[in-house]
A and B are shown apart, each in its own frame.
Chain A
Amino acid sequence: MKRKMGLLLAIVLLVGTVLAGCSKNNENAAESSNSADPGTGSNASAGASGPDISKPVELTWYLLGDANPDTPKVMDEFNKMLKKDLNATVKLNFTTWNDWSTKYNLLLTAGEKIDMIFASSWAGYFKYAKQGAFMDLTDLLPQYAPEVQGQVPAQDWSDVTIGGKIYAVPNTNPEYTPDGLVYREDWRKELNLPEIKDLDSIEAYMDGIKKNKQGVIPINGSALNEIYTMFLYYHDLHSIGGDSGVVVSKSYDTPRDIVAYPFTPEYEAWVKKTKEWADKGFWSKNTLSSKQEAGDLIKTGTGAIYWRNPPGASGFITDVQKNDPKVELGYFPFTRFHNYAMPTMAIANGMAIPRSAANPERSLMVLDKIRTDPKYYNLITYGIEGYHYDLINDGKNIEMPSKSQDPAKVQAYGIADWGWRNKELMKSGIGGWDGLDKLNEEFSNMTKPDIFSPISMDYDPVKSEYAAVNQVIDQYGKPLMLGLVPDVDKAIQTYRDKLTAAGIDKVLDYVKQQANAYYDEKNIK
Chain B
Amino acid sequence: MKRKKDPATILFQIIAYSTVTILTVLCLLPFWLVVIGSFTTENEIIGEGFKLWPNALSLDAYHAAFSNPKQILQAYWVTTWITFVGSIAGLFLTSMAGYVLSRGDFKYRNSFAFFMYFTTLFGGGLIPWYILIVKYLALKDSYLVMIIPSLISAWNIILMKNFMKSIPDSIVESARIDGANDFTIYTRLIMPLSTPGLATIGLFLALGYWNDWFTANIFITTEAKYPLQFFLYKILANAAVLRTNIAANLSAVNFTAPAETLKMAVAVIVTGPIVFLYPFIQKYFVKGLTIGAVKG
Contacts and interface: CB of A to CB of B under 8 A. Distances in A.
B169 to A, nearest CB: 18
Interface string A1-23: 01101110110011000000100
Contacts of B240: 97
A225 B254 CA distance: 26
Interface in B109-129: 110-111, 114-115, 118, 124, 126-127
A66 B234 contact: yes
B223 A67 contact: yes
B46 A96 contact: no
B135 A99 contact: no
A314 B43 contact: no
Contacts of A314: 248
B68 interface: yes
B287 interface: no
A2 B248 CA distance: 68
Interface string A450-492: 0000000000000000000000000000000000000000000
Nearest to B230: A98
B237 A112 contact: no
A430 to B, nearest CB: 12
A314 B245 CA distance: 11
B46 A296 contact: yes
Nearest to A418: B249
Contacts of A302: 47
B135 A9 contact: no
Residue with the highest number of chain A CB atoms closer than 10 Å, among B68, B218, B234 = B218
B252 interface: yes
B245 A309 contact: yes
B131 interface: yes
Nearest to B244: A312
A343 to B, nearest CB: 15
B135 A97 contact: no
A297 B249 contact: no
A319 B256 contact: yes
A66 to B, nearest CB: 7
Contact of B127 (A6, A93, A98, A106): A106
Contact of A312 (B47, B118, B247): B247
A103 interface: yes
A314 B248 CA distance: 8
A56 interface: no
B130 interface: yes
A96 B248 contact: no
A308 B46 CA distance: 19
Nearest to A92: B221
Given A28-B131, A110-B127, A97 B68 contact: no
Contacts of A10: 111, 114-115, 118
B111 A9 contact: yes
A14 B115 contact: yes
Contact of A98 (B68, B111, B233, B251): B233
A13 B140 CA distance: 29
Interface stretch (A258-266, A406-414, A439-447): A406-414
B134 interface: yes
A110 B136 CA distance: 11
A293 B126 contact: no
B46 A110 contact: no
A79 interface: no
Contacts of A242: none
Contacts of A308: 245
Given A69-B68, A110-B134, A97 B111 contact: no
Interface string B242-283: 010101111111101000000000000000000000000000
A121 B272 CA distance: 42
A414 B253 CA distance: 6
B80 interface: no
A311 interface: yes
A299 B111 contact: no
A164 B118 CA distance: 49
Contacts of A239: none
B173 to A, nearest CB: 21
Contacts of B114: 6, 10
A292 interface: yes
Given A296-B46, A418-B249, A93 B111 contact: no
B247 A315 contact: yes
Interface in A99-119: 99, 102-103, 106, 109-112
A13 B112 CA distance: 10
Interface in B84-140: 107-108, 110-111, 114-115, 118, 124, 126-127, 130-131, 134-135, 140
B135 A112 contact: yes
B25 interface: no
B211 interface: no
Given A7-B111, A110-B135, A412-B254, A97 B234 contact: yes
Interface in A348-362: 349
A6 B110 contact: yes
B293 to A, nearest CB: 30
A214 interface: no
Interface in A306-325: 308-309, 311-312, 314-315, 319
B252 A112 contact: no
Contacts of B247: 312, 315
A270 interface: no
B241 interface: yes
Given A6-B110, A300-B47, A400 B252 contact: yes
Contacts of A21: 124
A177 interface: yes
A302 B47 CA distance: 8
A300 B260 CA distance: 14
B217 interface: yes
Nearest to A13: B115
B139 to A, nearest CB: 13
B238 interface: yes
Given A111-B131, A319-B256, A412-B253, A98 B237 contact: yes
A393 to B, nearest CB: 18
Contacts of A7: 111
Contacts of A429: 251
Interface in A422-446: 429
B218 A315 contact: no
B47 A315 contact: no
Nearest to B222: A93
A524 interface: no
- What are the 8 closest A-B residue pairs judged by CB atoms, nearest first? A414-B252, A311-B248, A6-B111, A97-B237, A300-B47, A312-B248, A98-B237, A414-B253
Interface of A: 2-3, 5-7, 9-10, 13-14, 21, 28, 65-67, 69, 93-94, 96-99, 102-103, 106, 109-112, 177, 292-293, 296-297, 299-300, 302, 308-309, 311-312, 314-315, 319, 349, 382, 400, 411-414, 416, 418, 429
14 contacts: A6-B111, A97-B237, A97-B241, A106-B127, A110-B127, A110-B134, A292-B46, A299-B46, A314-B248, A319-B256, A349-B249, A411-B254, A416-B249, A416-B250
Given A97-B241, A112-B140, 4 more contacts: A14-B115, A98-B213, A297-B47, A416-B249
